[in-house]
A and B are shown apart, each in its own frame.
Chain A
Amino acid sequence: MMEWMKKDDWKWLGVGALVLAGLLGLAVYRGLFRYVLFDPAWNYKGMAVEPGDCSAGNPEIVELTNGCLMMYTHGQTKESHPSENNTYARSSCDGKTWKWEGLVLKMASMPTAVRLPDGRIRLYFMRGGEGNGKIMNGIKSAVSTDGLKFVEEEGYRFEAGAGAPRPDEMSKVREYYKVEGKGKVEDIQSLAHLSVMAVEGGYRIYFDESMRADPKKYGEDKAWPLWRIRSVFSPDGLNWRLDPGVRIDVEQAPLTLLQRSSNATVVKLKDGYHMFFFAGFSPWEDLTAWKRLTWSGTYEAVSQDGLNFTIKNWPRFPGNDAAVIRRGDKLLAYPGRAQAARRGCSDIVMFERKLTAKEK
C-alpha cells in the first residue's frame, strides 16, 4: 500500500488514525475496557428486580424451609416518608422472578437474614438511636416463622463502640486507622452493609466499617468515606463479639488503588469460603479520569477459615451490593445497578455461574 500512497492519501490516513484514537480514548475514559476483564464464567441473566422506586437497596437473600427464596432490601417506597429507611421483602421460587411482599420492618436498614435450625428466620438490621450527643449505631434482630411477619428482639445484638457523629458533623468522622492486634470495639465508629451466614459453631456477620480518608490528601470536603470489611461472631446468634483483625482492608493488595472494599457476601463451598465484595471508589473519586484505569466491580476472595481472605486479581462481574447464593450446582448473584431516573436508587440485576468441580 505504502508505495501507492500519495501526499493526499497520507492526510486521509492521518484523519482515520485521529478518529480511531479519539474513539479508543473515549472508551478508555469511560472505562469500557473493564468489561472484557470481568469473569466470562458469570453470565448476565437480566433484570431481577425493577421496583420503580427506591426500595431495592442492599439485597440479602435467605432460603426458606420450602426451598423458595426471600430477598430483603432496604429503602423507601413512593408511599413512605423520605427520611424512612425500611426493610422490604420479595419472594421467589426460581430465583429469577421476584414477587413483591411489602414492608417487613419500619426504620430498619441493612437487613440480612439467616435460617435457624428450627426453621425460623432471624433478620439482623441496623437502627440508630441518639445517646450522649451521638448517633448510636448498632445491629438489632427480629425473628419470624414465615420470613414476613417479624417480632423484634430486645436490645442491640452488637453496637459500634464510638457512635457515629451527627449527619451535620461529618468532619468528626474518624480517619482511617490500622487495626492493631485483635482490634477494639470502641474504635469502630459506624458499621453498615451486614451479611450473616451460619458457620461452624455459630454465626458470622460481615459488615463494613466506614472511616474518613486523609483530608490533607483529598481535601476537607472529599475526605469521606472509606470502607473496609470486618466481622463479628456469635455462637448463638444473640451475643456477638468482634472477630480479630480486618477481613478486607482499604487498599489491600491487589486492590491498592481502590479506596473502598464493602458489601461482602460469603458463600461456603467445598473448597472454602468465597467472599464477593464491591471494590471501587468513593463516588467523588470516580470522577477522576485516571481512576478509570483501575477496575471497580464485584471481586471474589477465598478463605479456608472465613477470616483470612486472598483476593482474586480481576473483578468477577459489574455492580455493587451483590447478594450471592448457592442454588444447586450454580452460584446466583444479585448486584445492584444504579437507576438512571432516581439518584441513589438501584435496580437489581442477576448473574449466574456454574460451580467448578472443586467447589461442588
Chain B
Amino acid sequence: MMKNKKLAGLLSLMFPGLGHLYIGRYADGIGFLLGGGVLWGAIVLKGSYLFEMGGLRTLIFWGGLIAVYLYALVDIVRRV
C-alpha cells in the first residue's frame, strides 16, 4: 500500500522509529525506537545533569540525540 511520505517524516520527528513502523520496516523501526528510547530515558532520569554539564559531554549527548532524529528522518524520506 502507498504510504504518505509527509506523515512518515512527521512520525519520525515525533519519535525516531515511528515512521519506519508506519511504512512496515519493523526491524529498522525497533532499532530507532530503542536508540531514541535510551536517549530520552537519560533525559527524563538524568535531565538535570545533562542540562548542567558542559563541554564535550554535552556536545556528544545532544549531538547524538539530534543525529538519531535526523538519521531516522533522512532514512524515512529516502525509503517512502
Contacts and interface: CB of A to CB of B under 8 A. Distances in A.
Interface residues of B, number: 19
A218 interface: no
Interface string A20-50: 1001001100101001000000011110000
A23 B33 CA distance: 13
Interface of B: 4, 6-7, 10-11, 14-15, 18, 22, 40, 43-44, 47-48, 51-55
A141 B11 CA distance: 64
A23 B47 contact: no
A314 to B, nearest CB: 15
A318 B52 CA distance: 8
Contact-residue size bin, chain A (C-beta under 8 Å from the other chain): 20 to 34
A9 interface: yes
B53 A44 contact: yes
A352 to B, nearest CB: 10
A51 to B, nearest CB: 18
Chain A interface SS verdict (over half) = helix
Contacts of A45: 54
15 contacts: A1-B6, A1-B7, A1-B10, A4-B4, A9-B4, A13-B7, A16-B14, A19-B14, A20-B14, A27-B44, A30-B44, A32-B44, A44-B54, A45-B54, A349-B52
A35 B40 contact: no
Given A1-B6, A5-B4, A16-B18, A35 B51 contact: yes
A46 B58 CA distance: 11
A30 B11 contact: no
